[in-house]
Amino acid sequence: MRRTHNNSGLAARRRVYVVPNLITAASLFSGMCAIIFAADGFFVRACYLILLSAVLDALDGPIARLTRTASPFGLQFDSLSDVIAFGVAPAYLMFRKLSLIEESVALHQYAAQMAIGVSGLYAVCGAVRLARYNIQAGKEEKITFTGLPIPAAAGTLVSTFLVIEHYLEDSRSLHRMILILMIILAYLMVSTYPFPSIKSLTRRTKRSFNNFITLVFAIFTLVIFREHLALVSFIVFMSYLGLTIMMGYRRRRRWGAFSPGATISLDAGGVETDEVEDDERDTNDST
């Protein structure tokens, strides 16, 4: 009886493991479809598919933690999916769009070379960001992210593209300015700048009722402004990016770093404090 119970529990656990991995697979499939649409010239559809991947990516982690099915396999699979959906897909989309802008032959050749270089830089920095996250996921990146998360970088990039497409007239020159945005996002992804994690927000509001109200409010807002989804996405991602940079800048001016006695380690990609070292010394002395 005990062996039968263990086997049934193991089978049920394996079935539950499928749920978050299916969501990750759907995010990967959405990113692949975005690449296909971008290759055919359907850039707006590709942008919305990347935003859909961001929504799915935001769901697989909480579902895995809620069902207690988080695993090293899921972490690696999620990172591989993110490389495609938020690294390669946005980079290829922007390269295709910029390569189709009509210019003179000389300028077009120069712009194409710039587009290839910047798109490659963005994709490589995104892969480096994910590799660093995999190393730090168990320790440093529980409350804050070291560097801009790649889904936020992709969301900022494609939402800016959609706003230019939908609301601005002189889009040709503005599209070229996206190259500058891609360079900034690439730098932020590999930087040691701390960005808040969704986990830290949920820890501050542990009551399920508060989280439920927040979710209902978010869905209600999306339903009301569904015709302006591009603008809403742009405001959300830019607010996250802008407020985080402003808060970090104020902290650096006040303390000279991210926290009192903080030293940035380029190897770990995180922030180490002297206070933590002092606490460890006190613990060792007491034992």
**What is the domain-level CATH number for residue 132?**
1.20.120.1760
Number of compact structural domains in the chain: 2
At residue 233, the pLDDT reads 87
Domain identity same for 228 and 107: yes
Domain identity same for 178 and 277: no
Mean pLDDT for the chain overall? 75
pLDDT over 90 percentage in the chain = 31
Q: Please report which confidence band the pLDDT of residue 278 belongs to, taking 50, 70 and 90 as the band edges.
A: very low
At residue 193, the pLDDT reads 85
Q: Please report which confidence band the pLDDT of residue 219 belongs to, taking 50, 70 and 90 as the band edges.
A: low
Statement: residue 264 has pLDDT above 50 = no
Q: Please report which confidence band the pLDDT of residue 257 belongs to, taking 50, 70 and 90 as the band edges.
A: very low
Give residues with Cβ within 8 angstroms of 185, minimum separation 6.
122, 148, 153, 156, 157
pLDDT digits (tens, 9 = 90+) for 45-103: 999 999 999 988 888 777 777 777 777 888 888 999 999 999 999 999 999 988 877 55
Q: Please report which confidence band the pLDDT of residue 125 belongs to, taking 50, 70 and 90 as the band edges.
A: very high
Domain identity same for 42 and 157: yes
Domain identity same for 185 and 87: yes
Q: At residue 212, what is the residue type?
A: F
At residue 251, the pLDDT reads 65
Domain identity same for 141 and 283: no
Query: Among 93, 79, 57, which residue's Cα sits nearest to residue 128?
Result: 79
Domain identity same for 142 and 188: yes
| Region of poorest pLDDT, from 83-97, 113-127, 210-224 | 210-224
Q: Where are the alpha helices (DSSP H) in the chain?
A: 2-39, 43-66, 72-82, 89-99, 105-136, 150-167, 171-190, 198-204, 208-224, 229-255, 274-286
Domain identity same for 69 and 209: yes
| Region of poorest pLDDT, from 103-112, 163-172, 202-211, 266-275 | 266-275
Give the pairing type, strands 194-196 and 144-146. Answer: antiparallel
pLDDT over 70 percentage in the chain = 63
At residue 199, the pLDDT reads 55
What's the mean pLDDT in 95-117? 72
Distance in angstroms (rounded) separating the CA atoms of residues 102 and 43: 16
At residue 232, the pLDDT reads 85
Domain identity same for 160 and 279: no
At residue 130, the pLDDT reads 92
Q: At residue 116, what is the residue type?
A: I
At residue 34, the pLDDT reads 96
**Domain around 126:** 2-256
Domain identity same for 232 and 245: yes
Domain identity same for 130 and 164: yes
Domain identity same for 173 and 61: yes
Statement: residue 282 has pLDDT above 50 = no
Statement: residue 267 has pLDDT above 50 = no
Q: In DSSP terms, which residues pair with 270 in a beta bridge? A: 265
At residue 261, the pLDDT reads 38
Statement: residue 283 has pLDDT above 60 = no
Domain identity same for 242 and 212: yes
